[in-house]
Amino acid sequence: MTRRLRNWLLAAVRLTCAVGTALVALVLLLTQLVGLVLVPLFGVGLPVVSGALGATRALADLHRAQAGRVLDAELSVGYRADPGPTWRELAACLRDPQTGRDTIWLALHGFAGILLAFLANAVFNTLGTMLVGGTGPFAVFTLPVLVLLAVVWWTVPWLVRALALLVRLLLAPAGSTLERRVEQLAESRAATVDAQAAELRRIERDLHDGAQARLAAVRMTLGLAAQTLHADPDRAAALLEEARADAGRALAELRDLVRGIHPPVLADRGLPGGLEAAALLCPVPVAVSVDLPARPHPPVESALYFTATEALANVGRHARATRAWLHAAYAHGKITVVVGDDGRGGADPTRGTGLRGIERRLAAFDGTLHVASPPGGPTEITMELPCDLCAPSSPRTTSSSATG
């Protein structure tokens, strides 16, 4: 009996909180509507709607957690876009089907909360009238009062479960997380295929325009040397020397091409050494700190190296920074690499191919890219990639300051 009473009290508290958040839901719904009206009229509507959508998602996350406890299930949902203060971000967020379901839930939750508040007020007034109108100290045990208390005892847990089912229906619909995951995998697969095709085209172009052309020139020079060997030995010797120089340049280009596929520094020194080597090539002084208890698998290591190298290259080309930093660490089953600088900021993945390339390379391994770059700086690019570690990495932690 004590346990049932405790569960009922917990349900009553949850119902009271639901009634309390109903007012918040109505305010957020009204704010969204007003903001949408102001968007085409005045620019202030953009941050209003974005703020209301962000608060709506926070409220929805709270109710998803509570409903999950009531239903003894894990309720989650994946949003396709985050609200932001720009037209592009707002449009992407409004196109997300879950945003529409959140708005419908706001209206239903607000209406249900107001209705429950009126019902609770009616119950308390009726109960008070019955108790005041009763006679003697045992008025609470009269039949109408007992019936009303029994109805309340049975109704409160049922209402809490009904609200939890409403949350699951709208805020965590069946299949939404799986569908979003399938979409993400399809997008990452398409991006991986495109990236691989582009990489193959780059290798083919570099071979055709570089080493292949030089080797063809070496062949022609050797042919000329063979023709002039007896008639003009000095000319033949000069041609042979020219062919030797062209062969050396072709070999150097082939080595550079191989380094672009898998840098030898990764095989020799692992990711810490590779990141330090990449920092040395940056024209901006870079403070490097790496804390990895073991080495990631070679494909992951290569992806992190190239994404960090691209991020540092962007710092040197576009940031106009005086200093930069690179931090890499492993925690909770994923490697996080942060590249930052004190430059002018304004980096946007939607406006450049460099950051989009980093995003596509990470997506192939189910990784994510987050860019924080307000106008005026500083800029921080956070790359997260879930992975398992394998062989021990040495050294575990490295720290350096590199200058270009």
Q: Other CB atoms closer than 10 Å to residue 189's CB: what's the count?
A: 12
Q: Which residue has the higher pLDDT, 229 or 200?
A: 229
Residues 6+ apart with CB under 8 A from 81: 89, 92, 93, 95, 96
User: What are the sequence ranges of the domains in the chain?
Assistant: 2-174, 178-261, 269-402
246-297 pLDDT per residue, tens: 888 777 777 766 665 666 677 677 888 888 888 888 888 988 988 888 888 8
Tokens standing for residue 98: 């879950």
Q: Is the pTM of this model over 0.95?
A: no
CATH number of 269-402: 3.30.565.10
Q: Which pLDDT value is given to residue 398?
A: 46
314-372 pLDDT per residue, tens: 888 887 888 899 999 888 888 899 998 988 888 777 666 577 778 777 877 778 888 88
Cα–Cα distance for residue pair 264/284, rounded to 1 Å: 24
